[in-house]
Structure 1
Amino acid sequence: MLTHRFITPRTPSQMTSLIAIHRPHWQVCFLNNTCHPIIGICPAVSWTATFSGNLNIHKNNRQNQSQTYPSTYTDWQNELIAYSKNFSTHSGHGDYTNGLMGFIGYDLSAHHLNPTISIKPNQPCAYLGHYDIYLKFNKNGFDLVGVNDDDDDAFAILLTHIKNNLEGLLTKHLPTPKPARFTPTWTQADYQIAFDQTQEYIEAGDTYQINLTQKWQANLDNLAVHLPHLQGTMNAPFAGFLKINDFEILSVSPELFFEFYQENGSIHLITKPIKGTRPRHNDGQIDEQLKNELANSEKDISENLMIVDLLRNDLGKYAKIGAVKTPKRFAIESFKNVHHMVSTIWAELDNTHALAVLFGSLPAGSITGAPKKRACEIIHELEVAPRGAYCGTMGYMNFDGTGIWNVLIRTVQKSDQAEIWAGGGITIQSKSDEEYQECIDKVGVILACFDNSKPAKS
C-alpha cells in the first residue's frame, strides 16, 4: 500500500468537484460514508451497464483495453463475485479499503423482477469500478492511497503522476455555480390522478402500499459545480457523487440501505428503512410538535411496519435461521429539512456473498411498496417516466464483503437534462394533498440550493 499525505483546507465535496471538472476521465466517485468520506479515482477495472433491448456490459481497464458483451442481471452479479475473489481481503471496519464503488439503478433491478418494466434510455443503468486508488480524508487534509499487492513499478509511477496532478488541482479556484430552476413534470392535478389510481389498486387488493414519485427537471451544464454548496447545506450522511463520461449522479441521501460488516467470522448487515415524514420548522416548539405528531401517527407507523416486514422477508432468504432481528422500530431521526421515522433491522448472513444479497434485495422496499414485485409494476404504469438511477443504490463493497450502500433518494441525475424525483408511500389512509406536500418538503431545500446557488469558498 502506497500513500501520500496532502495538508489542505479543501473539503471532500470541494475536492470531488475539482476532480470532476478538471480531470473528468478519472471517473471520480465520492461517498460521504457516514462522515468517513472516500473519493475513488482512476479505477483499475470498471463495468458500465447500459440497456438497449438487452443488457450490455462495457468493461474497461487502465490499459485502455475495453470490451462490450451481453449479460443478464444475475450473470453480471456472478461475474463481479468471481472478480472479487481474486483479491486478498482487507477488513473495512466501517471504512473503504479496496473493492468496488458505484451504483445500481432502480430501473435495472425492477426490470429484473418484471422484464416489461422499462429502463431509462441514453444513460448507464448501473456502474461499478474497482477503485484501488482513492483519497481518504483526515482532519488536516487527505491521504492519497494506492493498494497494489504486486509491488508494481508501473503502479508506483501512476500514483506519482496522480499525486502531481492533485497538487496542481489544489491551486485552482472552484467555479461559481449558475442558478438553475427545476420545473415539475406533473401538476398537482396530474398527481391527483395517479394518487386516485393508486388508491384503486389498494382497494382492489393488488397492494398495501405504493411509493408514488414525481419528477422535476432543469437544464444544467454539470452537477459537479453544485456539489460543495448542496452537500454543505444538507450534510447528508450517505451523500455521493459519480461522474462517468457525460453522466453524473449527485445524491444527498439520508437513507442507509445496507451496511455489511464482519463479526465473529461471518458477515452481518444492518438496514434502516425510512417511512414517515414531517417537515422541519424554524420555530422550535412547532418543530417539536411536528416531530411528536410523526412519532404518534398510526398511518406512518403502519406504513413503516409494512416496509420492515418486507425487508425482513428479503433478508430471510439470505440469513441464518432466526438471525433476522428488529432491535429498533419507529425511531424519529431529524435531518436538515425533514423529520423521518426510521426502523433498524439486523441480520447474520448464511454463507452468501454480500454482492448476491445486495443484487437480490434491490430495489429497496422503502421506495417500492408492498408486495414489491406488484408495487414495481404499478409504479411503472403510473409514473411519468423510468426512474433511472433514482431509488437505486450507491456505495462500496470491499473485497472482504464489508461495505455501505445508500438508497438513492434526494438525488439529482444528469445525462441530457438534470432531474430530481421525490415521493412518498401511499396507503389506504393517505390524503392526496398531504402526500403531494410531502414530496415538496423532501426536495424543497435541494431545489432552493440550485435556484439560489452560492459560490463555494475556494
Structure 2
Amino acid sequence: MTVELSKYAMKVLQGDMMTPISVYQALTGQYKMLFESSAKHEESGRYSFIAVNPVAELTGNQEEYTFSKEEEQEKTSGNVLDKLKQVMPFHQASYPFAFFGGAIGFFGYETAFYTEKIGEYLQDDLAMPDVHVFFYDTFIVFDHLKQEITLASIDLFQEGRTLEEMETAVLAMEQQLYAGATFDAAKVNTLAFKPMISKEQFVALVERAKQHILKGDIFQIVLSQRFSAPFTGSPFALYRQLRTTNPSPYMFYMDYGAYVILGTSPESLVKVKNRQVTTNPIAGTKPRGATAEQDEEIANALLQDEKEIAEHRMLVDLGRNDLGRIAKVGSVQLMKYMTIERYKYVMHIVSEVIADLRDDLHVLDVLRACLPAGTVSGAPKIRAMQLINELEPVKRGVYAGAVGYISTTGDMDLALAIRTMIIKDQQAHVQAGAGIVYDSVPLSEYEETLNKARALLEVKK
C-alpha cells in the first residue's frame, strides 16, 4: 500500500545529555521497542530507534492471523505475511531517516515453511506466533554523529490524523524526556541455564547429521540446542548488562507485554536501502585469545582452516543464490570477502553480498527469499531444513529467524535472531547452533554452541 504523505510533526533536540537507555526508561507507554548498535561511529550504526504505543498489531502464522487497529480486530484464516504485505503502508516522501514509522517485530524461523515444503511443525513448547509485528506512528531517532535526537509523529495509515494530533504526540514525548528517566537499579543475578538435551544427545545428533552428509543428502547443516533458566527480575536490567559485556552491530530490546525479546546479534539477515539489498554471511567461528598475540594467531589460523573456509564459501554462494532470486539480472556482487570480525567471546569470518531489488517485487519478497540464512540452516538449504526438522526436538521460533523493522520509506533492516534471549512465563531461553560438515568433530561442535551462547549464558551483575 503506497500513499502520498501530506504532513508530519518533527522536533530536533540536542542529544549530548541523553542516551538511548535513558530515553527508553523515560518514555511511558506500552510495547516499547529499542534498536541500537555498537558501531555508533560508523554509518551502519549511526542511528538508534525507539518506538512506543503502537497503533496496530499483526500476529499469526501460515494458517491464521489477527490484525488489530484501534477498536477493531480481524481474526481470520490466511497467511500472516500476505496480510502484512497488504496493510504495510509506504509513503511517497523524502524522509531524513531509514526508519520513519512502520512495522517493528520478529519473523520466526518457521516463517520459511510458508514457501517451501519443510515438514510438519515441531512441538511449539514456547507457544509463540511465527510473526508478531506492531505498527508505530510515533518514534524517536538518535543521530549519534550529530548528537541529535529527533522526535517524530506521522499519519501512518493516512486516515486523516491531524497535524495538531501529531504535534501533541511529539510534545508528550518531549515532556517525558525532560521529566527524566526512572532508572532501573535491579541487579542481574547469574542465571542457572540448563540445556534441553544432554551433551551425549547433541553429539549423537551430530553423528546422525554426518551420516546424511556422507550419503550426499547435504553438504552442511546447522544443528542447535536451547538453554533455559528460571528468571525473575528486570529484563531491561539484563539487556543493559548484555549490551555492555557483548556489544554488537545489532542490539535490541522488544517488549511485547506477554514476553520480551532481547539480544546482541552480530549478523544481519538482510537489509534493503533505496531498493539495494545487502546480506552479510557469517560462517567460521573461533573463541577469542587471552592476549592480543594469541588472538591474532587464532585469527590467522581461522583463515587457514580448511573446514571453516569451505563452510564459509558454501554459505557465501548460498547468499548469492538467495539474492539472485529477487535481484535484477547481473546486479549480484560480492563486496567483501572473508574478513575477520571480533566480539567479546568469539571471532567470525564475514563477507558481504549486494544486489538491486527487481522493480516488480515487494520488500517482503526479499524476506521470503533470504529467511532463514544459510548460516543457521545449511546447504542445500531446503534439504538441510528438512533434516533439522527431523533432528531437533522443538520448534525454533524466534531463534534463527529475524528481528527488525520495515519502514514507510520502503527500507527494511532485519537482524538474524542469534545471540538472542526470550523471556516468557518467568523463564529465559537462549539457543545456539554449530555448522556440521563431513569432517566435523562432534564434541567440538558441542563446544561451539556453548561458545556462541556464552555471551548470554554468562550475563550477571
- Determine if the TM-score, normalized by the shorter chain, exceeds 0.5: yes
Task: Give matches, 1:290-439, under 5 Å.
Answer: 290-351=298-359, 352-416=361-425, 417-439=427-449
Task: Give matches, 1:70-89, under 5 Å.
Answer: 70-80=77-87, 83-85=88-90, 87-89=91-93
Structure 2: tracts of 5 or more residues without a match: 1-8, 38-43
Q: Does the 8 A contact of 1:100 with 1:397 survive in 2? A: yes
Whether 1:129 aligns to 2:150 is no
Aligned to 2:3: none
Aligned to 1:31: 35
Superposed displacement of residue 167, structure 1: 4.2
Q: Does the 8 A contact of 2:339 with 2:349 survive in 1? A: yes
Deviations 1:5-24 (A, max 9, x none): 375745324544565xxx4x
Q: Does the 8 A contact of 2:26 with 2:179 survive in 1? A: no
Aligned to 2:240: 228
Deviations 1:420-452 (A, max 9, x none): 011111011211122111111112232111xxx
Residue number among 263, 268, 277 corresponding to 1:251 in the alignment: 263
Q: Does the 8 A contact of 1:194 with 1:382 survive in 2? A: yes
Q: Does the 8 A contact of 2:107 with 2:402 survive in 1? A: yes
Q: Does the 8 A contact of 1:3 with 1:146 survive in 2? A: no
Q: Does the 8 A contact of 2:419 with 2:455 survive in 1? A: no
Aligned to 1:67: 74
Superposed displacement of residue 147, structure 1: 2.4
What is the SS of the residue equivalent to 2:354?
A: strand
- Between 1:124-133 and 1:284-293, the stretch displaced more is 124-133
CA gap of 1:141–1:322, structure 2 versus 1, over 3 A, is closer
Q: Does the 8 A contact of 2:80 with 2:131 survive in 1? A: no
How far, CA to CA, are the matches of 2:173 and 2:446 in structure 1?
A: 47
Q: Does the 8 A contact of 1:211 with 1:426 survive in 2? A: yes
Superposed displacement of residue 138, structure 1: 4.2
How far, CA to CA, are the matches of 2:26 and 2:390 in structure 1?
A: 40
Deviations 1:158-192 (A, max 9, x none): 44344444444514444333432211122221111
Deviations 1:245-287 (A, max 9, x none): 211111110001112122xxxx111110100001112211111
CA gap of 1:220–1:97, structure 2 versus 1, over 3 A, is same
How far, CA to CA, are the matches of 1:382 and 1:228 in structure 2?
A: 35
TM-score, with length taken from structure 2? 0.87
CA gap of 1:123–1:432, structure 2 versus 1, over 3 A, is same
Q: Does the 8 A contact of 2:25 with 2:181 survive in 1? A: no
Taking only aligned residues, the RMSD between alpha carbons, in angstroms, comes to: 2.4
Aligned to 2:5: none
Deviations 1:100-139 (A, max 9, x none): 2211111222354235133735223212222221122245
What is the SS of the residue equivalent to 2:293?
A: helix
Aligned to 1:200: 211
How far, CA to CA, are the matches of 1:154 and 1:91 in structure 2?
A: 20
Structure 1: tracts of 5 or more residues without a match: none
Residue number among 434, 441, 447 corresponding to 2:451 in the alignment: 441
Q: Does the 8 A contact of 1:123 with 1:415 survive in 2? A: no
* Counterpart residue type for residue 46 of structure 1: E
Q: Does the 8 A contact of 1:252 with 1:411 survive in 2? A: yes
What is the SS of the residue equivalent to 1:390?
A: coil
What is the SS of the residue equivalent to 2:226?
A: strand
Q: Does the 8 A contact of 2:430 with 2:456 survive in 1? A: no
Q: Does the 8 A contact of 1:40 with 1:134 survive in 2? A: yes
Q: Does the 8 A contact of 2:65 with 2:78 survive in 1? A: yes
- Between 1:141-150 and 1:427-436, the stretch displaced more is 141-150
- How many pairs does the alignment contain? 435
Q: Does the 8 A contact of 1:248 with 1:413 survive in 2? A: yes
Superposed displacement of residue 202, structure 1: 0.9
CA gap of 1:158–1:16, structure 2 versus 1, over 3 A, is closer
Residue number among 64, 83, 98 corresponding to 2:101 in the alignment: 98
Aligned to 1:55: 63
How far, CA to CA, are the matches of 1:106 and 1:378 in structure 2?
A: 14
Residue number among 199, 202, 216 corresponding to 2:227 in the alignment: 216
CA gap of 1:237–1:281, structure 2 versus 1, over 3 A, is same
- Between 1:390-399 and 1:354-363, the stretch displaced more is 354-363
How far, CA to CA, are the matches of 1:127 and 1:6 in structure 2?
A: 34
Aligned to 1:116: 120
